[in-house]
Amino acid sequence: MLFSPMLAILVLALSPQPDPAMLRRIFEDALARREKQYGTSDARTAQAARDLGLYLAREGDASGAKTALAEAVKVDEAVFGPAASQTMADVAELAAVSKGVEARGCGSGRRQRPMPRWRFGRS
C-alpha cells in the first residue's frame, strides 16, 4: 500500500473548499442569465431563483433566501398556477425561511413546542 487511509482522509480534509462568496456569485449569475435568456416568467428562471434561495438558506442568509424564494413563488404562480405542486413546494420553503427571519428578528430564536406529557397506566 502506497499510502495510509488516515493520510488520504487528512489530505481530503485539508484540501481547499469552495469559497461561499464565489458559490453565491455563481448562483446569482445563473439567475441573471436565466432572466436575460428566458425572461422573468419562465420555469427555468424560477428554478434558478429557487436554487439561489435554497443555497442562501443553507448558508444562513435568511433574508437573501426569502427574497429569492419569493421570486421563485411569483414565477411559479404565473407559470404553473397557485395550486401546482411546484408552487406549493416553493411556498413551503419560503415559509420555513420566513419563519426563521421573523424568529431572529425578534431576538427570541426558534420557538420549540413543549414536550407532550405522556400518561401511562391509570388516568
**Sequential pLDDT tens for the chain (123 residues):** 455 666 667 666 666 777 889 899 999 999 999 999 999 999 999 999 999 999 999 999 999 999 999 999 999 999 999 999 999 999 999 999 988 665 554 444 444 444 444 455 554
Question: 76, 96, 97: which is closest to 86 by C-alpha?
Answer: 76
Domain map (residue ranges) of the chain? 18-102
CATH code for the structural domain at 18-102: 1.25.40.10
